[in-house]
Structure 1
Amino acid sequence: MRRLKDVLRVARSAPAPSALLSPSDSDPPSPASSDPSPPFPDGIKVWYDCPDATIDICFVHGLTGNRDSTWTASKQSKPWPAMLLPSKLPHARLLAWGYDAYVVQASVASKNRLTDHAVNLLIDLTNDRDSCDASGRPLIFVAHSLGGLVCKEAIMLSRNHPEPHLCNVFEHMTGIIFMGTPHRGSWIADWMKIPASGLGVLKSTNKSLLQVLATDNQLLESIQVRFWSMVREQRESGRRLEITCFFEELPLPVAGKVVSKESATIEGYMSVSVHANHRDMAKFRTENENGFKRLAGDLMRWVPSLSTGA
């Protein structure tokens, strides 16, 4: 509770609570806009395409994130995957999926539950891949924070779906990179206990997303158990699903480490640290950063026929 009290103490003077949660759209609104809240570009956006693509890599942001800003370092004009990955994986089509993951907003926060977001991801990604005749193409996810939970649920929904075309995501998914995903919960759920007045202004909140992040939350446990059972069954049947879990090394001011190593990792799979806090671990500036080298190295190892070297 001391940690929560510390957060509450500084919340009144903080410019926005989202700064403690995840990479977010913190750019000031345009003068023509009367809504001070960040925009929520949703759905699929193609960062990099090529006529002879042989694999899709889909990036999914986390809590308070954005399909562009989550992956864009300060003072950079484009997301790092669009800048740094094409030279490493020239035949990979790079996608970003966006959804309204704000839980505290000056106007009205989306009331979508985690499962609602997972359904939308499944449908949007399926429609996009169908539209460019890529439904049978291998698929890799790179997900930050809450985005990892959304991906896991979308994959489980795709499995044995009554609509055959929606089964393609599960059937062709070959790997997932989790970046700071709270597989076992996170103290950040305590934010839901802070009254709106304590945050300085009247806010609209989507507490269902925060409830999912509570340690021992039943839905969180169910997602993890079902996902792990699926992975084990696929592995025993001879299908290899690649998984790597990245965890944050550095704490955020006041908040500390948002997702612990224990929560961010999955037993039996590679766990790798990034020398950054939860907010910045998904942002790279150059290909010389060790965090980028580790992540890109996994992607290139998973698709060796596409790699162009270290």
Structure 2
Amino acid sequence: MVKNNLGIHAIAGTENSQRKLDVLFIHGLGGDAFTTWQYENKAEYFWPKGLVGDFPEVGVWTIAYGATPSRWVEDVMPMERRATNLLKQFVLSGIGKRPFTFVAHSMGGLIAKYILTQAEISNDPDYQEVADNCRGVIFLAVPHAGSGGSNALGYVNVLVRGNYILKQLAKDSAALNNVDNHFRQLSKRKGLRNYAFIETKEVRIRTKLLCFFSIPKGIKIVSETSASATELAEPPVPMEDDHLSICKLDSKDNLLYQSVIDIIKKYLAVRPKEDPEKKRLKTK
């Protein structure tokens, strides 16, 4: 696996032309396509690859895109432009030609929503096919209504030189509210089954007080309200995790892994919708 290249990475099962579902892992702000999903940053705990052992008929992909929050490091695209960029990559990679789902962490869930809403309104039939074949999104600590953590970074914007996406992630962002309204409507039209898992713990940091000793400080990046503020098939599931640990699994016995297994089974059981025009022609 090449960890530094941006783009879409085939992980396992993607060469099976008879596969019934693609699972796309998309990281969030400050993450990457591999370590986001690795417990203790160890490759042996890269759990997306393990899904193919449980589902031979599934293909697994992971997505890498520029997500650095600080312009000291790099400038990155606003979320809506990133979505258009990734949507083109989907079409070129053949993603969307068969049923698929996103497993999305943090800002990755917002980008997934942008991808689907842009695909549906496009005049390009290849893009529209992406929207048609999505079965739903598995949201992991996604700030549908914005993040208080983003607001906190805004207070020290001069130091971090925050990218434009930090403004987009602000609590009660009008842009996020707008894309979620479109996503809710799309979910109802397409029959998407979306699921959410929410953080219940604070991300702990240590800061020195007067240079003598350290005190623990914590911040909950995404509130339960924000993580639940979208169209969902079931009530959101609280997890014994903070914003960073929620997607780093050390065992297949983990509640999230078992839940994803259950959701994939539901997606695989969905019968493809028949095109109304084809149905009408067949009855003649």
TM-score, normalised to structure 2's length?
0.82
Residue equivalent to 2:245: 280
Residue equivalent to 2:170: 214
Q: Deviation of residue 163 (structure 1)? A: 1.9
Residue equivalent to 1:80: 47
Q: Deviation of residue 76 (structure 1)? A: 2.3
Residue equivalent to 1:181: 142
- State the SS of the aligned residue for 1:104: coil
1:143–1:178 CA contact under 8 A, matched in 2:
yes
Aligned partners of 1:285, 1:111: CA distance in 2, in Å?
Answer: 31
Q: Deviation of residue 126 (structure 1)? A: 1.4
- State the SS of the aligned residue for 1:44: strand
The alignment status of 1:192 with 2:149, answered yes or no, reads no
Q: Tell me the amino acid that sits aligned with residue 81 of structure 1.
A: P
Number of residue equivalences: 250
Q: Give 1:47-196 correspondences, 5 Å limit.
A: 47-49=11-13, 50-51=15-16, 52-74=18-40, 76-78=42-44, 79-82=46-49, 84-104=50-70, 106=72, 108-129=73-94, 135-190=96-151, 191-196=153-158
Q: Deviation of residue 214 (structure 1)? A: 1.0
Q: Deviation of residue 46 (structure 1)? A: 0.5
2:194–2:232 CA contact under 8 A, matched in 1:
no
Measured at CA, do residues 56 and 195 of structure 1 come closer, stay the same or move farther in structure 2, by a change above 3 Å? closer
Q: Tell me the amino acid that sits aligned with residue 43 of structure 1.
A: G
Q: Deviation of residue 290 (structure 1)? A: 1.7
1:53–1:92 CA contact under 8 A, matched in 2:
yes
- State the SS of the aligned residue for 2:194: strand
Aligned partners of 2:181, 2:41: CA distance in 1, in Å?
Answer: 40
Aligned partners of 1:155, 1:195: CA distance in 2, in Å?
Answer: 31
Q: Deviation of residue 268 (structure 1)? A: 5.0
Extract unaligned runs of 5+ from structure 2: 205-216, 271-284
Question: What's the % identity of the aligned pairs?
Answer: 24
Measured at CA, do residues 135 and 223 of structure 1 come closer, stay the same or move farther in structure 2, by a change above 3 Å? closer
2:21–2:57 CA contact under 8 A, matched in 1:
yes
Q: Deviation of residue 136 (structure 1)? A: 2.6
Residue equivalent to 1:205: 162
1:275–1:291 CA contact under 8 A, matched in 2:
no
Aligned partners of 1:259, 1:40: CA distance in 2, in Å?
Answer: 27
Larger relative contact order (CA 8 Å, sep ≥ 6) = 1
Q: Deviation of residue 40 (structure 1)? A: 5.0
Q: Deviation of residue 204 (structure 1)? A: 4.7
RMSD: 1.9
Equivalent residue in structure 1 for 2:221, among 255, 258, 275: 258
Aligned partners of 1:256, 1:204: CA distance in 2, in Å?
Answer: 20
Aligned partners of 2:87, 2:138: CA distance in 1, in Å?
Answer: 17
1:54–1:91 CA contact under 8 A, matched in 2:
yes
Q: Deviation of residue 111 (structure 1)? A: 3.3
Measured at CA, do residues 195 and 268 of structure 1 come closer, stay the same or move farther in structure 2, by a change above 3 Å? closer
Measured at CA, do residues 74 and 228 of structure 1 come closer, stay the same or move farther in structure 2, by a change above 3 Å? same
Aligned partners of 1:68, 1:117: CA distance in 2, in Å?
Answer: 19
Q: Deviation of residue 255 (structure 1)? A: 3.7
Q: Which deviations, in whole Å up to 9, do the C-alpha atoms of 1:271-297 show, x marking residues without a partner?
A: 112211100101112111122112222
Residue equivalent to 1:15: none
Q: Tell me the amino acid that sits aligned with residue 90 of structure 2.
A: L
Q: Which deviations, in whole Å up to 9, do the C-alpha atoms of 1:35-61 show, x marking residues without a partner?
A: xxxx75311000102423221111110
Q: Deviation of residue 88 (structure 1)? A: 1.6
Farther-moved stretch of structure 1 (263-272 vs 221-230)? 263-272
- State the SS of the aligned residue for 1:74: helix
1:182–1:263 CA contact under 8 A, matched in 2:
yes
Measured at CA, do residues 100 and 303 of structure 1 come closer, stay the same or move farther in structure 2, by a change above 3 Å? same
Q: Give 1:1-16 correspondences, 5 Å limit.
A: none
Q: Tell me the amino acid that sits aligned with residue 54 of structure 1.
A: K
TM-score, normalised to structure 1's length?
0.76
